[in-house]
Structure 1
Amino acid sequence: MFVSLGSIIGSGWLLGALTAAKVAGPASLVSWVLAAVILAALALIHAELGAAYPVAGGTARFPALAFGVLAGFTGGWVAWLQAVAIAPIEVEASLAYLDNIAWVREHLNLLHADGTLTVSGFAWASLLMALFTVVNIVGVKLLSESNSVTVIWKALVPLVTVAVLLSLRFHSGNFTAGGGFAPAGAHGIFAALPLGVVFALQGFEQAVQMGGEARNPQRDVSRAVITAMIIGTVIYLLLEVAFIGSLDPAALLKGWSNPIEKGAFGPYATLAALAGAGWLSYVLYADAFVSPAGTGLVYVGTSSRLSYALGRENMLPRGLGKLTVRGVPLWSILLSFVVGEIAFLPFPNWKSLVEVVTSATAIMYAFAPVSLAALRKRDPGRPRPYRLPAPKVLAPAGFAAANLVIYWTGFAITWKIMIAIVAGFVLFLIARLTTPEGERPPLALRSAAWIAPWLLGDTLIGFLGRYGDGGNLNWLPEWVDLLVVVVFSLVIFYWAVALAMPEERVKAAVERESAELAV
């Protein structure tokens, strides 16, 4: 539970409320509720999958069990892309917050004026990444113990912030100021989701990714996912209420485009100072380091276990699928470190990658509902310690919800994710050609036939739609666009389930995973 909660409470809590309010105003509260509902449905789906199939790198392996190698690689590659990018982004968030302190700015010189890392900043960022790597190499026990300490801190600080702001500085009129409760209408509520809201609440699946190393995964994985999701949602809703209520009413007279001092990277620290709680500002700057760093620590572990899963299935070089005597995927952890270091170069700040990560995460999450429906159909006798309620409703609804998040992210982001997926298939082809023919798993082309039309269809709808920062045509009318996404999603969902591998092949794949888990 702490592994999942530690991923949910990262840099998103410090920045998500501000970015959401600038787009949706007070109706950003609806954005958080909507995101919580969407992600809760997906969390329940992951809870059943994680309890029934508790293997490391689960998001890569669930689609592989149901649809074969190509589907497993696609889901795993997208999951790895978003996971490997989050650790360096969280590190950058930590350094950017610390750079707001005069002493740090003067003596350490972490950032250039444009927000990019200096040589000193890159060195400190590399040191943090190296620390995350060492903790993960030692093993999941040390990872969970070190993460537990930071999660207790990470949960307490937001709750203390809420209590202080609500008691010292709360203006109820702010919830109807600057154009009313929903100044940008429904469009603003939906547009806020990929601008930090979904990003902040994601991470519940981390318990699933590390389920293979849990002591009693069949019992604990589902409980961990559900509990972490509930706690995270409550904390984020309280934070948004405290943020909106603590703003200076005068700053909202002209709308929500700039509700707080321009350039205030840590908005809660600014509000605490205005409320006369200067001590809280220092606590928040400390937390601005601890929260992102704790999340980065977890995601180094997550990304390494995803590449491990892909290596085990011969979808990436086989060395990535080997474990040390401690049961740790050493080469996969080192790969996450190297790629994380490279990511510091093209993505110099927190905001530059949030939408990309959100879109990739939504694609990753979308594989879970179709995998669950297919596995229930093809592997009905599997013990399921946790069972999803109303699966015939929640599974297709979860798939449609994930596709809506992809759509709301916008065409300008979606097409870039598609390029990254194509690049991944080049690596997949190289790995396959360098694997002895007798060790290559069958591709199951028929079972994966739905993936390309799905991804291309999402990209086309985004191109014709009305969300994003450019490149789209705005041809689909409001609300009609959402109906198009939902109908398209349902068609793909039921087609995909019908194309799942035959029952005997699914059971054979499950037996291989069960044998590995027993070892």
Structure 2
Amino acid sequence: MNNHLQRRMGTFALTMVGIGSMIGSGWLFGAWRAAQIAGPAAIFSWLIGMTVILFIALSYCELGSMFPEAGGMVKYTQYSHGSFIGFLAGWSNWIAIVSVIPVEAIASVQYMSSLPWKWAQWTHYLVVNGSLTLKGLLLASAFLFIYFLINYWTVSLFAKANSLITVFKIIIPGLTIGSLLFAGFHSGNFTSNSVGESHGLSSVFTAVATSGIIFAFNGFQSPINMAGEAKNPGRSIPIAVVGSILIATVIYVLLQVAFIGSVDPSLLVHGWNQLNFNSPFADLAIALNLNWLVIILYSDAFISPSGTAITYTATTARMIYGMQKNEYLPGVFGKIHPLYGVPRPAMFLNLAVSFLFLFLFRGWGKLAEVISVATLISYITGPVTVMTLRRTGERLYRPIKLKGLSIIAPCGFVFASLTLYWARWPLTGQVLLFIMIGLPIYFYYQMKVKWRGFRRNFLAGLWMVVYLFCMMGISYLGSNKFGGKNIIPYGWDMLLIAGLSLVFYIWGFKSGFETEYLHEASKLNEEIRISEEAIATESLEEKAV
């Protein structure tokens, strides 16, 4: 049986995968949620979020070019620190990503629930008090099945469908930005003292973690998880990752500016935190009598989230495939269809889990918060992993070796830790405990292999466990601006997080060792070196001709 994924995706297709993942339901709801929390200062929240993600993404760019394999994000840490922390990182990353699929379905249904036309009165019963009704759940379930079918047959169909949808997703936000800025822009919304309660920088930071900003930027890892299908991963991955982040940032910042400026000042008498919309941009368009834009926005409420969900349906299947190769899951999930080149059993598992999340979390806001925190937990291993591999895998071929990574990596670790803290207690504690629930699966498979190498793997990952419990404790004891008991006052809490983060970064870096998994991965790494040398030779020969 052919268990190899098909390498058909170029730089443009991978970039479209990244943008398609980022411009989903985040643009439909993110600007409104960020404005609710931080008011006009939400613009800075997007820039801070971009900075956090960019520092983390740069670490993964080097890793992705070294090991361009399906579901790579759940494998890298295993190469540097062994199976224990590798499982924790992979589990949290998978939980964060697979839950994006139902949240996008929820977003489409939630937007549709406020259609203003008489023929669409039935949609008003899809959502009640921000939660999907039985009818809403059935419609969202139908969306999940559509996402599944588009990915079921071939990578080529996924790539073509995603690129087409992504182009549309860039155009619609652009039309929205231009129309709102032209039709009704209130510059006073950015400076008036009546625009809501001021919580200082803490509100800006909290918006980064909980309003959907980290959730929106989460799509940067999609090109990395699809690296196994890239034609030239060493060139395509960094361009796709960094390019998609920067393009998404421009779009999101302009959307935030347009949203803040287009709100009727009379709606802000009681503050930004009292600003409630069912369909934020569509409601603004209705108020400004932009009927043509209303129609487009309601159409895009299906297209944008669907494009993101289609992307994540593909990438999460590759993650399950990767976790099986790490021996965390039964062998059936590592099977690739011999004709279509897609991991179908993994797709079925993710579909089942998506249905579970859909019925557990029936509102966009709550699930987006959970996803953001789970994602941050998985991100913290990237900077440690990439620098550890520079020590333990010095001989490995690196298509891209980033300059200044010795500074970028620890900064990325600190930024991710701070953002995790900004998510506020008790959410931080709830998600951290949720991540720990996966450990029995790890211990079960360790028992099956008779605890082979367990002690060394566990000690190499112990820093991660201690780190998570420390973060939980500081979140509980921290300032009341972030939901804590105010035992550690505001300002000192963030200094403590930053200092401890550097300690854990150093501990994590020193804990890594040359694992048996790294030996196996080095074979793939050597194949990449040979492949890229062959491509370079062919290119020179073509130029000579």
What TM-score comes out, normalization by structure 1 length? Answer: 0.93
- Distance in 2, matches of 1:49 and 1:75, equals 15
Q: Which position in structure 1 is the counterpart of 2:325?
A: 312
- Residue 223 (1) aligns with residue 243 (2): no
Decide which moves more: 377-386 or 154-163.
377-386
How far apart are residue 93 of structure 1 and its match?
A: 0.7
Q: Which position in structure 1 is the counterpart of 2:41?
A: 27
How far apart are residue 363 of structure 1 and its match?
A: 0.9
Q: Decide which of 60, 70, 91 is 1:46's aligned counterpart.
A: 60
- Distance in 2, matches of 1:148 and 1:243, equals 27
Secondary structure, in 3 states, of the residue corresponding to 1:447? Answer: helix
- Distance in 1, matches of 2:295 and 2:220, equals 29
- Residue 293 (1) aligns with residue 306 (2): yes
Deviation readout 1:369-407 (Å, 9 max, x if unpaired): 001110111112322222323111110000111111110
Cα 1:33–1:72 change in 2 (3 A) is same
- Residue 390 (1) aligns with residue 404 (2): yes
Secondary structure, in 3 states, of the residue corresponding to 1:458? Answer: helix
Deviation readout 1:280-313 (Å, 9 max, x if unpaired): 0111111111111111111112222112111111
- Distance in 2, matches of 1:199 and 1:360, equals 10
Cα 1:117–1:168 change in 2 (3 A) is closer
Give, as a single letter, the amino acid of the residue that structure 2 aligns with 1:248.
D
Structure 2 counterparts to residues 346-361 of structure 1, below 5 A: 346-361=360-375
Deviation readout 1:303-340 (Å, 9 max, x if unpaired): 22112111111112222122221332111110000111
Secondary structure, in 3 states, of the residue corresponding to 2:220? Answer: coil
How far apart are residue 252 of structure 1 and its match?
A: 2.5
- Distance in 1, matches of 2:171 and 2:518, equals 45
- Residue 130 (1) aligns with residue 145 (2): yes
Q: Decide which of 268, 275, 285 is 2:281's aligned counterpart.
A: 268
How far apart are residue 509 of structure 1 and its match?
A: 3.7
How far apart are residue 361 of structure 1 and its match?
A: 0.7
Structure 2 counterparts to residues 202-213 of structure 1, below 5 A: 202-213=218-229
- Distance in 1, matches of 2:104 and 2:189, equals 31
- What is the aligned length? 513
Deviation readout 1:25-55 (Å, 9 max, x if unpaired): 1111111111111111112222111112111
Structure 2 counterparts to residues 185-204 of structure 1, below 5 A: 185-194=200-209, 195-204=211-220
Q: Which position in structure 1 is the counterpart of 2:185?
A: 170
Q: Which position in structure 1 is the counterpart of 2:537?
A: none
Deviation readout 1:329-358 (Å, 9 max, x if unpaired): 111110000111111211011012111111
- Distance in 2, matches of 1:182 and 1:30, equals 17
- Distance in 2, matches of 1:74 and 1:181, equals 40
Q: Is the 8 A contact 2:77 2:89 kept in 1?
A: yes
Q: Is the 8 A contact 2:463 2:508 kept in 1?
A: yes
- Distance in 2, matches of 1:99 and 1:440, equals 53
Q: Which position in structure 2 is the counterpart of 1:328?
A: 342
Q: Decide which of 482, 486, 492 is 1:480's aligned counterpart.
A: 492
Q: Is the 8 A contact 1:68 1:442 kept in 2?
A: no
Cα 1:179–1:46 change in 2 (3 A) is farther
- Distance in 2, matches of 1:358 and 1:48, equals 23
Q: Decide which of 443, 458, 478 is 1:445's aligned counterpart.
A: 458
Deviation readout 1:255-300 (Å, 9 max, x if unpaired): 22224xx3x2221112222223111011111111111111111111
How far apart are residue 430 of structure 1 and its match?
A: 2.5
- Distance in 1, matches of 2:305 and 2:409, equals 32
Deviation readout 1:388-433 (Å, 9 max, x if unpaired): 2311111000011111111011231122222222221112222343
Q: Is the 8 A contact 2:380 2:413 kept in 1?
A: yes
Q: Which position in structure 1 is the counterpart of 2:12?
A: none
Q: Which runs of 5+ in 1 are unaligned?
A: none
Q: Which position in structure 1 is the counterpart of 2:24?
A: 10
- Distance in 1, matches of 2:81 and 2:168, equals 41
Q: Is the 8 A contact 1:165 1:246 kept in 2?
A: yes
How far apart are residue 251 of structure 1 and its match?
A: 2.4
Cα 1:382–1:492 change in 2 (3 A) is same
- Residue 156 (1) aligns with residue 168 (2): no
- Distance in 2, matches of 1:463 and 1:438, equals 35
Q: Is the 8 A contact 1:83 1:300 kept in 2?
A: no
- Distance in 1, matches of 2:527 and 2:70, equals 10
Cα 1:184–1:418 change in 2 (3 A) is closer
- Distance in 1, matches of 2:118 and 2:527, equals 52
What TM-score comes out, normalization by structure 2 length? Answer: 0.89
Q: Which position in structure 2 is the counterpart of 1:373?
A: 387
- Distance in 1, matches of 2:272 and 2:520, equals 53
Cα 1:377–1:217 change in 2 (3 A) is same
Q: Which position in structure 2 is the counterpart of 1:494?
A: 506
The two structures, once aligned, show a CA RMSD in angstroms of 2.3
Q: Which position in structure 2 is the counterpart of 1:85?
A: 99
How far apart are residue 140 of structure 1 and its match?
A: 2.0
Q: Is the 8 A contact 2:165 2:303 kept in 1?
A: yes
Give, as a single letter, the amino acid of the residue that structure 2 aligns with 1:60.
V
Secondary structure, in 3 states, of the residue corresponding to 1:445? Answer: helix
Secondary structure, in 3 states, of the residue corresponding to 1:153? Answer: helix
Identity among equivalent positions (%) equals 33
Cα 1:512–1:72 change in 2 (3 A) is farther
Q: Which position in structure 1 is the counterpart of 2:6?
A: none
- Distance in 1, matches of 2:518 and 2:303, equals 44
Q: Is the 8 A contact 2:481 2:490 kept in 1?
A: no
